[in-house]
Amino acid sequence: MNTSPAPTTASLSSLRVAVLGIGMMGFPVARRLCEAGCQVSVWNRSRSKAERLQPMGATVADTPALSVARADIVITLLEDGGVVEDVLFRQGVCEALRAGALVVDMSSIQPRQARDHAARLAALGVHHVDAPVSGGTVGAEQGTLAIMAGGKPADFERVRPLFEVLGKPVHVGPHGAGQLAKLANQMIVGITIGAVAEALLLCEKGGADMARVKEAITGGFADSRILQVHGQRMIERDFTKRGAVAVQLKDMRNALTTANEIGFEAPITQLFEQLFAQAADHGLADLDHSALFVELASRNGMT
């Protein structure tokens, strides 16, 4: 491992940031960091996705290890915990990281995986914050993401200026706590999507106008961002993927796995895990998670 010291504070213009994973979220995150003046290095398994950031000033690396070699902060935005572990510990990243560097995992993984990664990196002199996000691609593009961070308070403060380019950061506890908060977020999102879908379908089945029903309950206790955003998608039958059914299912399963590990019963989440699993089995996996509406409509002969 390179043992040259990394600065504890730095202006954004002198901050060297590596972003690993340039997908639907990684691209707008890296673009905002480029626009903020950071020195950004990017890597993606499919190089062409990373090359889109070259006109914005990013350097494209051929391997994740090359991307992180000079970085003060490394952001991972990868598919799941297994991919994060592979990139960090099997593709040369942990050997290439500078002592004192900070790994910020913004992927959505299991809390126990985040704690394990933090411990393994700490043994190498590398800091870690788990910081999953909510807000989707729109939030990433606009810099309005909800950022849930777990780790040491000093590490959170170190990365706070970078987080504030991306959205609203909140330190929620020790390593793994950020992932717990994200699971809570995804439990609420998935369950509420189901509630909105079922309620709107009930109204349509009974002869009411779904759009008018949504308008009527807006501003009342049943109002929510899910009603406004996902409810509108249901009304318009627009299930173009933003957050996929498959990803929602992964998050519900991660929540149930974590609940089992800590001896917590989560019957509501278990029910919705089954509903999203059935939606995926019926060919809806790659549609937006609001497409649970389609699964529930099918059950009621309303397709």
Contacts of 298 (CB under 8 A, 6+ apart): 282
What is the spatial distance between Cα 206 and Cα 300, in angstroms, rounded to a whole number? 12
Contacts of 165 (CB under 8 A, 6+ apart): 12, 32, 33, 36, 143
| Residues 92 and 67 sit within 8 Å (Cβ to Cβ) | no
CB count within 10 Å of CB 176 equals: 23
Catalytic residue among 49, 182, 214, 250: 182
What is the spatial distance between Cα 50 and Cα 152, in angstroms, rounded to a whole number? 31
The two tokens of residue 173 are 């506890």
What is the spatial distance between Cα 49 and Cα 42, in angstroms, rounded to a whole number? 10
CA distances from 160 to 10, 156, 215 (A): 11, 6, 38
To the query of whether residue 49 is one of the catalytic residues in this protein, the response is no
The two tokens of residue 245 are 């059914």
Please give the positions annotated as active site.
182
